[in-house]
Amino acid sequence: MNRFLMLVMAVAVSVTSAHAASVKYDADETIDFSPWKSWAWKRPELPNESSIAEIRIRRALEEGFAAKGYTNVERAAADFLIDYHAAIGRELRLDEGWGFPGRRDIRVNSYAKGVLVVDVFERATGRLVWRGSVSDALASDPAKADKKMGKAVAKLLKKFPPK
């Protein structure tokens, strides 16, 4: 019984800590990002083929890079290109409480969790030079989706360009 309780507690701690949005990134340390002023999409938006989520991601990235002082230009004039990938997975959350007097009640809840990955390519060479990811970027409630995506992108772009 002790093993089971220790396992439940370990999973609860890891799931609880995973609930907060986290940012991870990696960069090519040989690249000097400081002269870069403009960017473009690596892949063009296809008219009438974008989902609502893709439109939301693109808008948040455009606003996020603009807030950092970068200008969205035609691909041939850009210093760097950006691309993104989004994934939705499931997270488990254990909630512990007390049920019938003297009995412990453990509930397992499942909820969707989204990760946004943003890739930055040096336009001149086509090399991937920066990759960042932010967890918990996608909202299941459409009324909160724009705000949540905007906050996630802002948090991610705090790490761009790398110092």
> 138 in a domain, yes or no?
yes
Residue numbers of the domain that contains 144: 2-157
Residue 147 predicted with pLDDT over 50: yes
> 127 in a domain, yes or no?
yes
Number of domains in the chain: 1
Q: pLDDT grade, residue 100 (50/70/90)?
A: low
What's the length of the chain?
163
> 139 in a domain, yes or no?
yes
CATH of the domain at 95: 3.30.160.670
> 41 in a domain, yes or no?
yes
At 146 the pLDDT is 84
> 163 in a domain, yes or no?
no
> 162 in a domain, yes or no?
no
pTM of the model: 0.72
> 121 in a domain, yes or no?
yes
Q: Quick: pLDDT tens for 20-73.
A: 678 999 999 999 999 999 999 998 776 666 788 888 899 999 999 999 999 999
Instruction: Please give the full DSSP string across 97-129, using - where no structure is assigned.
Output: EE-STT-EEEEEEEEEEEEEEEEEEETTT--EE
Contacts of 118 (CB under 8 A, 6+ apart): 61, 82, 83, 84, 131, 132, 133, 153, 156
> 26 in a domain, yes or no?
yes
